[in-house]
Chains A and B, each alone.
Chain A
Amino acid sequence: MSDIGKVRLRVPSSIKAGDVVQVRALVIHPMERIERDTQGKIIQKNYNYINKVIVTYLNKTVATFDTTQNVAENPFFSFTFKATDPGQLKVQFLDTTGGRYEGTADIKFS
């Protein structure tokens, strides 16, 4: 699982100023699911899953996802942002064990 935390961002190849741009973000993460013992009781432990995704554009938070354990393994998220100026789009993933993974994309106009 050396790939944990690998983030891929997919932005359209051509963006014009003022466009509302749809972005897909994917992170490699196990997103541990609930485990049960033989009696069917939930094992209490700190499950490792992503519970926050923060999208920033030009250092301003555009959208925040608060996720629970129900989100799939290697989750992907998509969202939009309004491309006003060229700059950096950053997506950060935070998990319950303190892991912090991020991916960035440079937004340029064509």
Chain B
Amino acid sequence: MEEHDGGHSVMARTSMADDHGMTRRTVLAALGAFGVAAAGGLATAPGMAHAQALAQNESVEDALKRLFAGKPMKDGAAVIKLELPLIAENGAVVPVSVTVDSPMTPTSYVKHIYVVADKNRIPVVTRVTFAPEAGRAFMTCARSWSRATARCSR
């Protein structure tokens, strides 16, 4: 089978000031395994069952351990671009976009992008699964930060 890099994961970090400007929050976009050969149980799990498993009340460490099962985590600052506004006009709708600088060929492509917010009750916000036909590993989703803020102030 085609070569892959053994299912490494890379991640990028950035932070932003929240609505009250009091704390900074770290957002973490962790990128799933490269390559089709790295297909683990994640991609094959039935959608519904997995969607429920995806949203769990747990710590970030536990979430990462669960999602990546102890795969070595590399610094992805060079390949992952995480974009979000420095100050959001409306905390309820904050666009987060992630671009991964990686070829998207049938033998080597970005399979998943995970967006994880570490101050969240449920840290895993979104998981995107790609096919090579996507052309580029890119996603945006509008994410509510005010809810996370409410959580932190408690």
Residues of A within 8 A of B (CB): 20-22, 24, 33-34, 40, 51-52, 57, 60-82, 84
Contact = CB atoms under 8 A, between A and B. Distances in A.
Contact of A63 (B121, B124, B128): B128
Contacts of B141: 65, 67, 71, 75-77
Contacts of B144: 33, 70-73
Contact of A66 (B51, B97, B131, B147): B51
Interface of B: 47, 50-51, 54-55, 92-95, 97, 104, 117, 120-122, 124-131, 133-136, 138-144, 147-148, 154
Dominant secondary structure of chain A at its interface with chain B: strand
A51 to B, nearest CB: 5
A60 B131 CA distance: 9
22 contacts: A33-B144, A34-B121, A52-B47, A57-B133, A61-B131, A65-B126, A66-B126, A68-B54, A68-B125, A70-B126, A70-B148, A71-B143, A72-B93, A72-B144, A74-B93, A77-B140, A77-B141, A78-B97, A78-B138, A78-B140, A81-B133, A82-B104
Given A79-B138, A82-B133, A70 B122 contact: yes
